[in-house]
Structure 1
């Protein structure tokens, strides 16, 4: 499970864009968005955390990896 801080994310549309970006490279991933905390948690992803952060950033939302959780 990967966690990211996404400071530019502020609305439901942003959350959908971020989720869509993650699913673009990890179709089976589970994405949880906490808009209040500006956090994104990605579970069941096979790829590296960096590629997910790059996909989120490419959607216009720079993402800071916060590491993995169990």
Structure 2
């Protein structure tokens, strides 16, 4: 949904009917305040929080090599 869209407008969410289940789950997750907080922490201090983030939310960070994660 574009930034600044009216959440009450049916047309703002018309795209939802075409989403796959995983994409729909992402739409809910990315709006979760606890997820947003944990993500910000994981990005700031990945070495100490990434594993906890993955366990809690079940989503690893993409594009990281094994050497970088160590």
TM-score normalised by L of structure 2: 0.34
Give the helix-richer structure, 1 or 2.
2
Give the strand-richer structure, 1 or 2.
1
TM-score normalised by L of structure 1: 0.34
Q: Which has the larger radius of gyration?
A: 2
